[in-house]
C-alpha cells in the first residue's frame, strides 16, 4: 500500500464504484410490481378506538413510550403522531356528534415504495412479500426516505446520538416469526385490522363495500394510490378519506416514473461517460488554445 | 372415610373454598376434584411455623377472616406441629415439640416463616426460648422439604429492614440457601394465596412456578393496576388530587395520591380480601405496594410511583393536524421587504464612503 499513490487509489475507488453502480442499476430496474404481497385491511367502521393495537405494537417491537404534551408527569404513552418511538397510532376525526371516525396510522407498504427507491444505500428495502422494511446497519441517516414518503410515515429518532429511522415493518422481525401475524392484527378485538394477502384483503374490502353501501364509502383507499399499497382502508360513508389524513394522491407511483428516467439515463453508465467525454473534449480544446497562446507569447 | 369434612365446615363451603383456590392457581375446573381430594387426603404434611420479627398480622389475617372456612381448611389441611400463636403448650414443652418434629419429620415438613430475621450483633434482637431467630432458622431449615415465607417481613425484611435497619433485619432467602423458598409477600398477604400455595404442593407434589422475586406466578404474575376497578379513571385522566377532594369522593383513580398499583405485582384487585370483595383501593386508600421489596417501606405511601409500562390514555390525537396559524399577509411582507431593502441600501452607501484601503489610513 505504501507505493499506492493518491491518484492511483482514487482511480481504483472510482472504478469499483462504477462497477457496483452499474450492477445495482441493472438489478433494481424494471422490477414488476408485486400485487400478491401481504398487508393489512383496516376497517374504520369496525374500529372501537381501544388502542390495543398501539400498546401491542410497542410491546412487540420493544418501543419506548412517548410523553404527551398534555402530560408533564409522563404517566401515559401518548404520542400525538407517528414518531421515533411510535410505529402505529390511532387517531380521531370528529366533525360532529354523529360524524366521526377513528383512523389507524402506520406504514402503507406501497407496492412501489418511494422510500426504497430514493434510499442511496438500500437501507429501506422491500421483501418478496411486499413488506417495506428498514435495515439499520446500512442506514447513513440521510433521511431521504422521510422526504420521499407521500404519507409522511418514516420518522427519525431526533433525540438519540445514533438515530435510526422508525417505521412499521408489519412485525417482520418480531411478531410474525412468533405468531404468524403482526401485533396489531393479532390483538384487535373487533377484527378492524386484518392481516393477509393483498388480493384476498382487497376482495374482502370490495365485498363489504358492495354488500353494505350505506355503511361504507364505496372506495377502497390504497387500491390505486401511488401504484397501490399493501395496506388498505375502508371508511364510513360519512367521512371522506382526506379527513382521516389519507391524502388524495395520483394513481401512478412517483418512484416508477423517476426510476424510468434515471435507469434510462444511467443504462450502461451512459450519462457519466457522456459527461466525461464532454469534459475531456473541452479540456483538450483549452489545452490546444493555451499551447498556441504560449507560442505567441514566446514569439514576442 | 377416615375423616368426615373439616370440623365446622360444610361440604358446600369446603368445595367453594377449593374452587376459589383452584381458580386462583389458574387451573381448569376439572382440577377442583384433584385439589379437593388432596385437601381431604389423610397424609397431612407436617408444618412448623416460626415467628420472628413480626406483628403476627399474617397469622391474624388468616385466622380472623370473617369466614371460618379458610382458617379451618388451612389448619386441617396440615398437621401444625408448632405455631407459637396457636399452640396450647408453652415453655419447655413447646420447644420439645419443635425439636421432636424437626427430628421425626426430617425432609418432610414444610417450614413456614413469619417475620424478618435480625442479623446485627449475632441476631440478639429477636429471641424465642433463649435462641435467636438466626439459630432457630438454621436449626429448622436444613430438614425442611420447602420453606414458605409468609408476609413481606419474612420475604424481604419488611418494616424492620426499612432504613436505617438498626437490627440488620433480612428475609429468609438472605439467610437460607440451597432450599426451595416460596415467598408470599403482602402486609398481610391474602390468605388465599397461602392456601393455594399449600394446596398446590399437596396436589401436584411440586413447587409452583415462581417469579424472579420467588413469588408464585399464579398470584403475583400481574400488576394490581391491570385489573383495578378504577383503571378507566386512570386512562381517562380523572384523578383524586388529595384525600377527601371531589375526585376522591367520586371514586377517581388514586395514582396521584400515591397509589403504587402500577408498580405492584399481586392479585389484590382480583381476589380482594375478607371474603367481601373489599380491598384498600376499593375503600379509597392508595395501594402501598406491600408485595414489592423496592416499594413498601422504601418510598413514602403518598409519593407517586414511576410507571414503567406505560399505556395509551383514552384520548386521541386529531386525524389531520391543523396548519399552524396563517402565513404572513401581503402588507406585512411588503413592509418587511421595504425595511430590509432600505437597510441594504444604507449599508451599501456606507461601504462606499469607507476609506478605500485600510492600510493607507494607517500609513498617514
Residue B149's H or E segment, with its range, is: strand B146-150
In a domain, A137, yes or no: yes
Q: B321 CB near a chain A CB, below 8 Å?
A: yes
> What is this model's ipTM?
0.73
pLDDT of residue A2: 45
Question: Residue B58's CB: how many other CB atoms inside 10 A?
Answer: 28
Rounding to the nearest 10 degrees, give the CA dihedral for residues A147, A148, A153, A156.
-40
- State how far residue B260 is from chain A, nearest Cα, in angstroms: 13
Mean pLDDT by 10 residues, chain B (364 residues): 53 81 81 81 84 92 68 75 83 89 91 95 92 94 94 95 94 92 94 88 90 95 95 94 95 95 95 86 95 93 89 88 68 88 89 67 46
Whether A75 and B319 lie within 8 Å, measured CB to CB = no
Q: In chain B, what residues touch A73 (CB-CB under 8 Å)?
A: 304
In a domain, A31, yes or no: no
Q: A133 CB near a chain B CB, below 8 Å?
A: no
Angle between helix axes B31-40 and B191-204 (nearest 10 degrees) is 90
- Residue to substitute from A75, A82, A95, A239, interface B, most B β-carbons within 10 A: A75
Asked if B195 and B22 count as a contact pair (C-beta separation under 8 A), the reply is no
In a domain, A112, yes or no: yes
One domain for residues A184 and A91? yes
One domain for residues A117 and A10? no
3-state secondary structure of A232: strand
One domain for residues A239 and A150? yes
In a domain, A71, yes or no: yes
* Closest by Cβ to B312, choosing from A70, A76, A93: A76
Q: What is the CA radius of gyration of chain B?
A: 33
Q: Which residues of chain A have pLDDT under 70?
A: 1-32, 294-300
Query: What CATH number is attached to the domain comprising A203?
Result: 3.30.70.20
Q: In chain A, what residues touch B261 (CB-CB under 8 Å)?
A: none
Number of structural domains found in chain A: 2
- Residue B234 to residue B313: CA distance in whole angstroms: 8
3-state secondary structure of A60: helix
- Residue to substitute from B254, B316, B322, interface A, most A β-carbons within 10 A: B316
Whether A74 and B316 lie within 8 Å, measured CB to CB = no
User: Which grid coordinates are listed for A79?
Assistant: 404520542
- Residue B166 to residue B24: CA distance in whole angstroms: 38
Q: B320 CB near a chain A CB, below 8 Å?
A: yes
State how far Cα B40 lies from the chain centre: 31
3-state secondary structure of B336: helix
One domain for residues A216 and A294? no
In a domain, A33, yes or no: no
One domain for residues A128 and A76? yes
Q: In chain A, what residues touch B321 (CB-CB under 8 Å)?
A: 81
Q: B231 CB near a chain A CB, below 8 Å?
A: no
One domain for residues A279 and A160? no
One domain for residues A268 and A245? no
Give the C-alpha distances (Å, rounded to integers) separating A194 from A86, A170, A200, B319, B333.
20, 12, 11, 21, 51
In a domain, A30, yes or no: no
One domain for residues A100 and A6? no
Instruction: Name the nearest CA neighbour of B47 among B95, B85, B82.
Output: B82
One domain for residues A176 and A291? no
Whether B304 and A243 lie within 8 Å, measured CB to CB = no
Structural domain that includes position A290: 2-24+262-299
Whether A92 and B311 lie within 8 Å, measured CB to CB = no
Q: B304 CB near a chain A CB, below 8 Å?
A: yes
Q: A71 CB near a chain B CB, below 8 Å?
A: yes
Whether B317 and A81 lie within 8 Å, measured CB to CB = yes
Q: In chain B, what residues touch A241 (CB-CB under 8 Å)?
A: none
Q: B229 CB near a chain A CB, below 8 Å?
A: no
In a domain, A29, yes or no: no
pLDDT of residue B248: 96
pLDDT of residue B121: 94
One domain for residues A19 and A42? no
- Residue B140 to residue B143: CA distance in whole angstroms: 6
pLDDT of residue A107: 96
pLDDT of residue A193: 97
In a domain, A32, yes or no: no
- Residue A144 to residue A158: CA distance in whole angstroms: 15
One domain for residues A78 and A214? yes
Whether A244 and B321 lie within 8 Å, measured CB to CB = no
One domain for residues A17 and A98? no
Q: In chain B, what residues touch A238 (CB-CB under 8 Å)?
A: none
Q: A79 CB near a chain B CB, below 8 Å?
A: yes
pLDDT of residue A30: 46
State how far Cα A284 lies from the chain centre: 45
Asked if A222 and A249 count as a contact pair (C-beta separation under 8 A), the reply is no
| Domain endpoint, select from A252, A271, A286 | A252
Amino acid at each position: 500500500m505504501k507505493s499506492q499513490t493518491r491518484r492511483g487509489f482514487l482511480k481504483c475507488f472510482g472504478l469499483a464504484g462504477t462497477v457496483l453502480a452499474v450492477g445495482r442499476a441493472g438489478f433494481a430496474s424494471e422490477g414488476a410490481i408485486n400485487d400478491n404481497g401481504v398487508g393489512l385491511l383496516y376497517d374504520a367502521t369496525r374500529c372501537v378506538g381501544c388502542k390495543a393495537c398501539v400498546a401491542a405494537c410497542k410491546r412487540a417491537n420493544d418501543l419506548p413510550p412517548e410523553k404527551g404534551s398534555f402530560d408533564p408527569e409522563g404517566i401515559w404513552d401518548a404520542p400525538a403522531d407517528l414518531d421515533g418511538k411510535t410505529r402505529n397510532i390511532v387517531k380521531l376525526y370528529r366533525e360532529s356528534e354523529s360524524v366521526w371516525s377513528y383512523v389507524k396510522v402506520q406504514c402503507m407498504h406501497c407496492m412501489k415504495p418511494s422510500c426504497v427507491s430514493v434510499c442511496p444505500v438500500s437501507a429501506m428495502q422491500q421483501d418478496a412479500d411486499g413488506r417495506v422494511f428498514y435495515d439499520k446497519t446500512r442506514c447513513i441517516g440521510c433521511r431521504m426516505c422521510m422526504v420521499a414518503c407521500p404519507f409522511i410515515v418514516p420518522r427519525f429518532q431526533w433525540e438519540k446520538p445514533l438515530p435510526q429511522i422508525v417505521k412499521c415493518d408489519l412485525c417482520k422481525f418480531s411478531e410474525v416469526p412468533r405468531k404468524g401475524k403482526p401485533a396489531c392484527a393479532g390483538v384487535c378485538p373487533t377484527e378492524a385490522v386484518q392481516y393477509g394477502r393483498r388480493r384476498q384483503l382487497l376482495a374482502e374490502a370490495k365485498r363489504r363495500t358492495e354488500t353494505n353501501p350505506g355503511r361504507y364509502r364505496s372506495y377502497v383507499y390504497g387500491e390505486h394510490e401511488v401504484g397501490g399499497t399493501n395496506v388498505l382502508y375502508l371508511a364510513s360513508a360519512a367521512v371522506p378519506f382526506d379527513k382521516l389524513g389519507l391524502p388524495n394522491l395520483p394513481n401512478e407511483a412517483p418512484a416508477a416514473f423517476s426510476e424510468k428516467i434515471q435507469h434510462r439515463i444511467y443504462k450502461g453508465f451512459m450519462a457519466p461517460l457522456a459527461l466525461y467525454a464532454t469534459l475531456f473534449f473541452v479540456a483538450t480544446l483549452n489545452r490546444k488554445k493555451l499551447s498556441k497562446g504560449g507560442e505567441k507569447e514566446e514569439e514576442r | 372415610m377416615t375423616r368426615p369434612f373439616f370440623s365446622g365446615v360444610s361440604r358446600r363451603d369446603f368445595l367453594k373454598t377449593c374452587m376459589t383456590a383452584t381458580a386462583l392457581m389458574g387451573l381448569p375446573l376439572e382440577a377442583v376434584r384433584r385439589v379437593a381430594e388432596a385437601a381431604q387426603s389423610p397424609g397431612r404434611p407436617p408444618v412448623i411455623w416460626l415467628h420472628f420479627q413480626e406483628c403476627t398480622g399474617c397469622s391474624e389475617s388468616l385466622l380472623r377472616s370473617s369466614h371460618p372456612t379458610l382458617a379451618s381448611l388451612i389448619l386441617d389441611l396440615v398437621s401444625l406441629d408448632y405455631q407459637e400463636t396457636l399452640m396450647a403448650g408453652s415453655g419447655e414443652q413447646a420447644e420439645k415439640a419443635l425439636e421432636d418434629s424437626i427430628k421425626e419429620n426430617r425432609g418432610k415438613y414444610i417450614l413456614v416463616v413469619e417475620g424478618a430475621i435480625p442479623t446485627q450483633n449475632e441476631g440478639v434482637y429477636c429471641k424465642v426460648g433463649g435462641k435467636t431467630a438466626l439459630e432457630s432458622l438454621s436449626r429448622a431449615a436444613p430438614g425442611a422439604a420447602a420453606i414458605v415465607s409468609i408476609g413481606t417481613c419474612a420475604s424481604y425484611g419488611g418494616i424492620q429492614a426499612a432504613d436505617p435497619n438498626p437490627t440488620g433485619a433480612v428475609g429468609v432467602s438472605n439467610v437460607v440457601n440451597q432450599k426451595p423458598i416460596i415467598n408470599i409477600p403482602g402486609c398481610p398477604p391474602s390468605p388465599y394465596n397461602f392456601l393455594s400455595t399449600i394446596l398446590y404442593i399437596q396436589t401436584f407434589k411440586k413447587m409452583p412456578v415462581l417469579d424472579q422475586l420467588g413469588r408464585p406466578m399464579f398470584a403475583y404474575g400481574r400488576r394490581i393496576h391491570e385489573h383495578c376497578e378504577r383503571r378507566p379513571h386512570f386512562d381517562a385522566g380523572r384523578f383524586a388530587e388529595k384525600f377527601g377532594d371531589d375526585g376522591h369522593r367520586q371514586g377517581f383513580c388514586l395514582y396521584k395520591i400515591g397509589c403504587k398499583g402500577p408498580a405492584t405485582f399481586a392479585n389484590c384487585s382480583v381476589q380482594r380480601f375478607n371474603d367481601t370483595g373489599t380491598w384498600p383501593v376499593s375503600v379509597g386508600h392508595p395501594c402501598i405496594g406491600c408485595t414489592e421489596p423496592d416499594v413498601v417501606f422504601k418510598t413514602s405511601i403518598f409519593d407517586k410511583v414511576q410507571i414503567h409500562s406505560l399505556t395509551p390514555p383514552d384520548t386521541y390525537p386529531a386525524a389531520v393536524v391543523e396548519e399552524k396559524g396563517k402565513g404572513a399577509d401581503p402588507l406585512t411582507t411588503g413592509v418587511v421587504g421595504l425595511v430590509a431593502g432600505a437597510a441594504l441600501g444604507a449599508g451599501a452607501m456606507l461601504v462606499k464612503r469607507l476609506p478605500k484601503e485600510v492600510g493607507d489610513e494607517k500609513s498617514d
